[in-house]
Amino acid sequence: MLERPLSIYINWASYDELSDVVQLTEALAMEQFAELLRLRGLGVRFDCYLMDAFWYEPGGAYRTWRKAHWPQGPDRWLNACRDAGVKPGMWFSGNTLCKLDVAPVWRDSLDADGHGMCMFHGGFLADFMEVLRSWYARGVRVFKLDFINFSASPAVVRNRLLPPMIRARNMDALRLGLEVLRQQCPEIILLGYNGFEEAPTQSATDLPLCRSVDNRWLDAFDTLYCGDPRPADVPAMNFWRSKDVYSDHMVRAYERNGFPLARIDNAGFMIGKTGTCYGRGTAAWKGMLLLSLARGGWMNTYYGNLELLDTTRAAWFAKVQAIFLRLQAYGRFATFGGMPGEGRPYGYVAESAGGSLITVVNPAQSEETVRLPCDAEGRILFRDAGYMPVLRGGSLTLGAEQMAVVGTGEWNAPGYDMGVQDDVRIPATIKPLKGEAKSAGPKDVEITLAPPADGCVRVMVRQKDRQGKARRTTGGAPPDGIPLGRLLVLVTWQQGKKHDMEVNYDKAIWSGLSWAVGEVRVDKLARGVPLKIRAHTEEQSDVTLGMELFHTTYGVG
């Protein structure tokens, strides 16, 4: 198992063959390797380069690389990793066929639906373990196992065993196989990804917490990840903050399932140009990096296009990474506050012998005061732009959707200042607004109000099913996916004239979205004329829409 925190670059999101059409090629992979070396030269730590999905030839049973894109195989990449002192890593689709043909030796394990292999019947598991051993022998040290299906079994097994028995035996077989693999490959590092949930924890952030992931998997894996980054079911004007809240909620859910923070891979840092990260580039990347580190996991994973981190960004990255990796190695991490998916303030505290770093997020549409877990005198080291947080007497007041980092003790010093995240702007004030509601149909909601004298009107709409749970709508992934602004529609007008509304959610979102938020500037409106706001959904299932309005103003800080 891990002896220290690791920093792993995973090249998914620099390409994306599931929610986009950018393919993995040797040229792309080696360009990212060159960027990794550039960033290492600027002080950023990378211990491993992991080759993610679809490096393999479909008919090669994980033994050969995709010939069209890797005509000479992986040797150039493996040798470059060895020469640079970087651990190579590889992705495997567990026991499911993901752009992979079934090998002859796997056929007697093939599931009745033709998509997965049984792990306790037939030849699949023994051959798969041999594949992993063969790549370990070639220098690969990190293995990411994804898309596991514990229900897979051929008809001959289904005819004699009940589904729960099949699932249990598949799980036992994989655990035993990985236990033997660890004995044979003592330096191996195993990452568990999709397929280990026993309840749909990762699909939403408003589900009741329950026993959903078996923490005994930590006997087999170094870490388990807690979900691909996606928007939470907590509405946010800043779309990227909602993604932060999702990952924070999942970390808390896995912690509640008995996972130590150090063993949770939050997979939260993903910059890039593809559909998997909604084409975010480096939008709000500083807060994303800080939170990915503050969550305390020892598997620090970084996804996407490394060329987006220029020299200035690399220097900032290296500074905050060094601070938090030191704390991960020698400090103690804990969570505090509410559950992120409930929209209440929460945070993380990283304690060292000489002080604490406290990272706090307020996901609410209101200013909120949080009692910090440390009463020592502190210093605000980082914040989003706009609202100026107030730190007084062991409490911190944050603006709506704001995050900040506070240092106490040895960390209460100018040398640890991390600056301001300028591309996340928090309103200086936010207050609820009331208007006259009108029923406009089962899939519509409309409110008329007298606009305030200044600032903006913020519109927040939630979509729920008949049980009151968030209902996500998706139009599919890029490049052909329908943007959510055409599916969860916000419209404002006065006397029949439509007004522009600033929105950040109008993207093709593979994971779906259960809310819409936008703002209309008051200075663009006619004075003294009622403002009408309507929300409409194209969701086909039985849903209801609820709308809330807020008056926001923005300062200059």
Query: Is 421 a domain residue?
Result: yes
Residues 301 and 324: their CA atoms lie apart, in Å, by 14
Mean of the per-residue pLDDT values of the chain: 96
What token pair was written down for 285?
């990347």
Question: 408: domain CATH number?
Answer: 2.60.40.1180
Residues 445, 313 within the same domain: no
113 occurs within a structural domain: yes
In a domain, 160, yes or no: yes
Q: Which residue reads 């992993």 in tokens?
A: 132
- 332 falls within a domain: no
Strand order in the sheet with 502-503: 429-433, 543-553, 456-465, 515-521, 502-503
Verify that 206 and 83 share a domain, yes or no.
Answer: yes
Predicted confidence band at 533 (pLDDT cuts at 50, 70, 90)? very high
**The CATH number of the domain where 256 resides is what?**
3.20.20.70
* Count of domains forming the chain: 3
Residue 557's pLDDT band (cuts 50, 70, 90): low
Residues 6+ positions from 40 with CB-CB distance below 8 Å: 46, 84
In-domain check, residue 328: no
CA 5 – CA 292 distance, rounded (Å): 13
Residue 298 burial by Cβ neighbours in a 10 Å radius (0-12, 13-18, 19+): buried
Q: Indicate whether 278 and 411 sit together in one domain.
A: no
Residues 226 and 354 in one domain: no
**410, 426, 442: which is the final residue of a domain?**
426
**Which residue among 397, 426, 455 closes a domain?**
426
Give the global pTM.
0.96
* pLDDT tens figures, 84-118: 999 999 999 999 999 999 999 999 999 999 999 99
Q: Which residue range(s) make up the domain with 45? A: 6-318
Q: Tell me whether residue 150 is in a domain.
A: yes
Question: Residue 157 has what pLDDT?
Answer: 97
Same domain, 515 and 413: no
Considering the domain architecture, whether residues 452 and 394 belong to the same structural domain is answered as no
Task: Give the full edge-to-edge strand order of the sheet including 48-51.
Answer: 264-265, 223-225, 189-192, 142-145, 87-92, 48-51, 6-10, 299-304, 269-271
Q: Are residues 264 and 128 in the same domain?
A: yes
Q: Are residues 383 and 260 in the same domain?
A: no
Do residue 149 and residue 66 come from a single domain? yes
Please indicate, yes or no, whether residues 267 and 360 belong to a single structural domain of this protein.
Answer: no
Domain final residue, candidates 374, 396, 426 = 426
Q: What is the pLDDT of residue 555?
A: 84
**Residue-wise pLDDT tens digits, 219-238:** 999 999 999 999 999 999 99
Smallest CA-to-CA distance from 431 within 551, 553, 554, 555 is with: 551
Higher-confidence residue: 528 or 284?
Answer: 284
Q: Is residue 470 part of a domain?
A: yes
Both 377 and 312 in one domain: the answer is no
Same domain, 259 and 301: yes
Q: Is residue 330 part of a domain?
A: no
Give the domain CATH number at 533. 2.60.120
Residue 371, beta-bridge partner list: 395
- Please choose, from the candidates 296, 305, 246, 313, the residue with its C-alpha nearest in 3D space to the C-alpha of residue 274: 305
